[in-house]
Amino acid sequence: MKMILILLVFLFSNQLSDQDNSLEIHVIDLKNRTGQVILDVFDSELGFPMKTENAIFRRKMSIPQDGKLVFYIHGLKDGEYAFALIHDENENDKLDQNFIGIPKEGAGASNNATGFMRPPSYKDSKFIVTKPLKLTIKMLYF
């Protein structure tokens, strides 16, 4: 009986740890308070970062008057994730680019990853979640 109780406590605590992970993402270096910032979270490299339909989570947020923008995500399971951010100044729900593909709006990625003449890769952007994390991401403008 005692062994069964210990086993149940162990199993229940593992389930709780999978549900308690959270991200607190601070977005810095926004050039203005126009529009919104869009966060897309991915749990695989499939579609990262441009195919937002492959994101497991999407949130849009207006930029507060003080310019301090923080996204909170709760209930993440242990695992590998990456996210992309867009400063969607004209609120058309996408990253506007010029005719050769250079972003006209701000963009950012987890790990502050960047790509040379391309979007950042999932490999450079991925991080492991096993506990609550607080991250700071710089918005980049080109």
Encode pLDDT of 41-91 as tens digits.
Answer: 999 999 999 999 999 999 999 999 999 999 999 999 999 999 999 999 999
Please report the pLDDT score of residue 14 as a whole number. 52
| Among 52, 41, 32, CA closest to 92 | 52
Please report the pLDDT score of residue 105 as a whole number. 98
CA angle 10, 77, 107 (to 5 degrees): 155
| Among 142, 124, 122, CA closest to 54 | 122
More confident residue, 55 or 8: 55
Tell whether the model's pLDDT for residue 6 goes beyond 60: no
**Residue 127 tokens, joined:** 């991080």
Tell whether the model's pLDDT for residue 18 goes beyond 70: no
| 21-138 CATH fold | Immunoglobulin-like (2.60.40)
Mean pLDDT of the chain: 91
For the entire predicted model, the pTM comes to 0.85
Are 110 and 85 a contacting pair, CB within 8 Å? no
Please report the pLDDT score of residue 5 as a whole number. 45
More confident residue, 9 or 34: 34
Tell whether the model's pLDDT for residue 8 goes beyond 50: no
DSSP-assigned beta bridge partners for residue 134: 24
Percentage of the chain with pLDDT > 90? Answer: 83
Are 27 and 70 a contacting pair, CB within 8 Å? yes
For 1, 74, 87, the CA distances from 136, given in Å and listed in that order, are: 48, 17, 15
